[in-house]
Amino acid sequence: MFEEIIERIRQKLDVDDDVRENSLKATRKSVRLCQEAVASIQRDDFEAARKNLDECTQMLRDFDQSLRTECPEIYYKGNIMTMQQEYVEAALLLALMEGKTEIQGPEALNVSVYAYLGGLGDTVGELRRYSLRAIRQERFEQAEKCLKLMEELYDLLHTLDYPEGLLPGLRRKVDVARSLIEKTRTDLTYFQHGKDLVNKMNRLIESLDKFELKKE
């Protein structure tokens, strides 16, 4: 009685299983490309980052065309969301560090709004990493720029007061962002004051040296 029905279901599941396996492989490659892009951005190697992101962009475009219509059950699964979030994070970080005035939205990046918001939340953490590197290199102006961007993203994401069921994980990302902002602000203030103190001490030593020379 049910043999024909089950056979049709089996055929559909066989197709979905193949698509799922391919999507998992693509997700792993895409995530790796995005992580490499982020690492390049942290080294100010924007050209290498763009190369990785260009490859990832094509992969996302292919998935959008094939999966969204043919296998929506798989398209909206967690691994595709992960792929898109990693891509958003890398793409937005690159745009911000290059000083772009117009930032791409989810439509331009060809991702869901949910993945976009998740990637936006993760960008705060990468901005902190960049700011810490700038602080170590005494590029305080660049570090302050990162801090302001972190604050801007937090202020925007904080307004999205929707249930966890609609935006899973976003509230936690917002809480983490607030904590990272406070830590970054403290680090920046501490090192700026430390640098000022060192400069004052050096000037004092120079003055004392000159005074000693005059006495001689």
Segments making up each domain of the chain, as ranges: 1-104, 112-216
> Does pLDDT of 201 surpass 60?
no
Helix or strand holding residue 4 (H, E)? helix 3-42
Cα separation, 75 vs 60, in Å, equals 11
Which string of b and e fits 101-118 if b means at least 16 CB within 10 Å?
A: eeeeebeebebbebbbbb
What architecture does CATH give domain 1-104?
Up-down Bundle (1.20)
CATH C-level class of 112-216: mainly alpha
pTM: 0.81
Q: What is the pLDDT of residues 141-196, one digit of tens each?
A: 999 999 999 999 999 999 998 999 889 899 999 999 999 999 999 988 888 766 65
pLDDT of residue 90: 96
